[in-house]
Chain A
Amino acid sequence: MSDTTFLIIETLIKAAVIVLVFSALAGFATYVERKILAFMQRRLGPTIVGPKGLLQVAADGIKLFTKEDIIPQNANKFVYKIAPVITAATAFIAMAAVPFIPSFELFGHTINPIVADVNVGILFVLGAMAVGMYGPLLGGMSQNNKWGLLGAARTVIQFLSFEVITGLSLLAPLMIMGSLSLIDINNDQTGGISDWIIWSQPVAFILFLIAAFAETNRTPFDLLEHEAEIISGYATEYSGMRWGMFFIGEYANLFTVSFLASIVFLGGFNPIPVFGLFDIPGTLAILLKVAAFIFFFLWTRATWPHVRPDQLMWLCWKVLMPIAIINLLITGVVILAQG
């Protein structure tokens, strides 16, 4: 088998594995979310279907798949149908440039668990996630529903504003490391916990985390589907699997952002030495970090109330963006001074 054929087959298999694994993980994340939120509210969460309610995910999936697919009468049918696909597809496309775990040997081949090791990986991820904004936008505008339209407007405002914060906050660590490839970024932090970028860029980390909440539509900033104000935002008229695709896209983005934060700021998939005794292997290390991020996202959802849209804009443009630019400036000056 020639190298090209092998590469094509390998890439196809990787892509399929990523889509399957993260679709399943998105389902599992809903289960974890329901369980943890329930515990934090002194409830039990799903317990009936399967052991500890684990098969609730399957039950929900069956329900979503078999539900009637309703298309509103005056909707722009083509755009309406294609919008959820955009969200789900871009969420998975963004994962193409994310290295999930360290490379490993399989059947005599070294396999890098990354679909496309492009040298501008982080730009690609951010760009693909930004394109995902077209899903809610087109869906909201095509469904002939004023709540959908308002939801779409809010989505665009929120995503566009916080793209700025994400970009500016990531710029500072990127200046230090001088590479946009996520594998290079990961390899820059090989020396254990003290080498993590979070210690030299704590402000950027906090900014990125705050922006991640907005980008993934998590609770302090979940204004896109704020039930009390705009019913369900851009997803008002969607039902069944089309709504499910929005949902999967959202959870896939959650995972992507968690992986991104772990790789850029928290040392990625490098093994962590523990007191010089033993190493936590890289795969386990990054999965632990991602799990911690996901738990944090759920934890804040159970704790914090969400903000008003005007407060969100105030936070973005009057607080976070100046801080991000000052952080960038200081980083630049320090890099120049160090020569």
Chain B
Amino acid sequence: MAKQEFKTIFIEEYPKTNWEAFTRFMKRMMRFELFKGLGIVYGVMHRALFKGEMHTVEYPEETLPIGPRYRAVHKLLRFMESEAERCIGCGLCEKICISNCIRMDTHIDEESRKVVPEYTINLGRCIFCGYCAEVCPELAIVHGQRYENTSEQRAHFVLKNDMLTPLDRLKSQEEFPGYGAVTPHADELIKKTPLAY
């Protein structure tokens, strides 16, 4: 945690008598406090206009950077070599989801591999807690960086194909660093379970 620097500010005693209130009023008037305020506001405007201190982010054109482990809309990843889906249909995410928004449909196909033909996350219910990504043993369901989820229909929020990495974009999929992946320096953070308490 960064070191915090506290400053004590000086607060004058409140005036008790009318005379004290009057002298305080006169003192403040003679210091031209109202006009000092005007000067400060003008300075703010000057710096905002000419010194680049404008705070507005023109949102659709520019966005603020978000943290690498931000938990936005989920992604379903693929293996980079075999292009197969990473999801093995274990159902852990469905089980752990505390808002009950994950549903998956699995069966064994002809090659006796478990496949997941339907995988839906009801984003209207999802609270983006990240348990699914954490519990996934295969780094299959992760949280991506896409936080702009607008649609005309509610059904659009739950499609598997939106979350799954498309085959043509697979080349640009890098080693996933975001939420769901192992944290950097994870080894150092692991503590051995004490054998005796």
Contact = CB atoms under 8 A, between A and B. Distances in A.
Nearest to B39: A303
B53 A42 contact: yes
Interface size class of A (residues with CB under 8 A): 10 to 19
Interface in B1-56: 34, 37-38, 40-42, 44-45, 48-49, 53-56
B44 A40 contact: yes
A299 B53 contact: no
B55 A40 contact: no
Contact of A304 (B34, B53, B58): B34
Contact of B37 (A36, A43, A304): A304
A42 B41 CA distance: 10
Interface in A128-160: none
A239 interface: no
Interface in A27-51: 36, 39-44, 47
Given A39-B48, A39-B49, A42-B48, A299 B38 contact: yes
A44 B34 CA distance: 25
A42 B37 contact: no
Contacts, number: 35
B41 A299 contact: yes
Contacts of B34: 303-304
Contacts of A39: 45, 48-49
Contacts of B38: 299-300, 303
Contacts of B42: 40, 299
Contacts of A42: 44, 48, 53-56
A116 interface: no
A43 B41 contact: no
A44 B58 contact: yes
Nearest to A39: B45
Contacts of A47: 58
Nearest to B36: A303
A294 interface: no
A164 interface: no
Q: Is the interface of B mostly helix, strand, loop or mixed?
A: helix
A43 B41 CA distance: 13
Nearest to B60: A48
A44 B54 contact: yes
B165 to A, nearest CB: 34
A323 interface: no
A302 B53 contact: no
A88 B72 CA distance: 51
Interface in B121-146: none
Among A41, A43, A300, A303, which residue has the most Cβ atoms of chain B within 10 A?
Answer: A303
Nearest to B40: A303
Contacts of A40: 41-42, 44-45, 48
Nearest to B54: A42
A319 B78 CA distance: 78
Contacts of A43: 54-56
A36 B49 CA distance: 10
A227 B159 CA distance: 45
Nearest to B34: A304
Contact of A303 (B41, B54, B58): B41
A172 B40 CA distance: 34
Interface in A284-311: 299-300, 302-304
A300 B34 CA distance: 9
A303 B37 contact: yes
A44 B44 contact: no
Given A39-B48, A39-B49, A299-B42, A44 B37 contact: no
Nearest to B37: A303
A36 B38 CA distance: 13
A39 B48 CA distance: 7
Contacts of B53: 42
Interface of A: 36, 39-44, 47, 299-300, 302-304
Given A302-B41, A303-B41, A304-B34, 9 more contacts: A39-B48, A40-B41, A42-B53, A42-B56, A43-B56, A44-B56, A44-B58, A47-B58, A303-B40
Which are the 7 A-B pairs with shortest beta-carbon distances?
A44-B56, A303-B41, A42-B55, A42-B48, A39-B45, A40-B45, A303-B37
19 contacts: A36-B45, A40-B42, A40-B44, A40-B45, A41-B44, A42-B48, A42-B53, A42-B55, A42-B56, A43-B54, A43-B56, A44-B54, A47-B58, A299-B41, A302-B41, A303-B37, A303-B38, A303-B41, A304-B37
Interface of B: 34, 37-38, 40-42, 44-45, 48-49, 53-56, 58
